Structure 1
C-alpha cells in the first residue's frame, strides 16, 4: 500500500575500530527504526544493546581491515542486531563481574534484555554476535 513502509527494513554499515563507533551504531539504529512502524518501541533497549555489541567488537575483536560490520533488521515485531568480526573467531564469554569491576557486564545486559542472543561462525572467517529484541509495550498497553 502506498504510504506504508515495507514490512522489513535492513541496513548495513562498516564501522572503524574506534571509540566513536558505538555512537555511529546508535545513529544508524535510530535512522532504521525511524522508518519502521512502531520502531520507537525498540529504541531504548536497541540503543543499549547495539552499543554493547559494537563496543565488545571494537575492544575485544580483531580484523585485518580494522573495521566491524553492523547489520540491522527490523519490522514491527522484532529487531535483530548483528556485529560481524571478520577475523576473530573466539566466542564471547558470558561472565559475572564483581561489584568493583569496571567491565564485564555487557553480555549479561545483552542476555537479560534480548529475547535471544548468540554467536555463530561468519561465512569465510570470523564470527557474528547477534541479538533479537522484542518491542517494548506501547504506552497504555498492558495497563489494567
Structure 2
C-alpha cells in the first residue's frame, strides 16, 4: 500500500516566552513551516528577518507581566503570500522611530515597513493586547 503524503500546513501557531532567545525560536518555526512549500525558499530570508524583528519588539517593548507569552502565527495564502502575526498583551501600538546613524536599535519597524508588502497593528479579540502583522509576497521577496 503506498504511503500517503499529507500536505504541508497552511497555518501554524506557536507560543513563545518573552525571552531574548525567542526570536531565534520564531525563525526556526518559520523555517520549518515554509520549507515544505514550493514558495518557501523565496519567502524564507525576508520572513525570518521580519518575524525576528516583530518578536524582538514584542519582547523589548511589551508593558505586560513577564510571564505573558507571545503568540506567533504564520499563514500561507493560496497566492503564496505569507502572513506573519505577533501577538502580545500590551495594547500600545508600535511606532516607527526616526533612525539615527549612531543608534544600535530602533530599526525593526522600519525594516518591516520597507520589506513587507503591507503591515499593520490591530487590537486582539477580547480587548487584551494587540497583534502586529505583515504580508510578504514571493515576488517582493525575490526582488
What is the total number of aligned residue pairs between the two structures? 137
1:36 — aligned with what?
Answer: 37
Deviation at 1:5, TM superposition (A): 3.0
1:51 aligns with 2:90: no
| Alpha-carbon distance between aligned partners in 2 of 1:91 and 1:16, rounded to the nearest angstrom | 20
1:119 — aligned with what?
Answer: 121
Q: Secondary structure at the match of 1:92?
A: coil
Q: Secondary structure at the match of 2:86?
A: strand
Q: List alignment gaps of at least 5 residues for structure 2.
A: none
Deviation at 1:3, TM superposition (A): 5.0
Q: List alignment gaps of at least 5 residues for structure 1.
A: none
Deviations 1:91-127 (A, max 9, x none): 0011221100111111000000000000000011110
Equivalent residue in structure 2 for 1:133, among 123, 132, 136? 136
| Alpha-carbon distance between aligned partners in 1 of 2:104 and 2:140, rounded to the nearest angstrom | 32
| Contact preservation (8 Å) 2:80, 2:138 | yes
Counterparts of residues 17-36 of structure 1 (less than 5 Å)? 17-36=18-37
| Contact preservation (8 Å) 1:5, 1:37 | no
**Structure 1 segments of 4+ aligned residues over 2 angstroms from their partners:** 2-6, 62-66, 136-139
Deviations 1:54-88 (A, max 9, x none): 00000001344421000011245211100001x21
* CA 39–98 in structure 1, closer or farther in 2 if over 3 Å, else same: same
Deviation at 1:35, TM superposition (A): 2.1
Equivalent residue in structure 2 for 1:109, among 105, 111, 120? 111
| Contact preservation (8 Å) 1:36, 1:74 | no
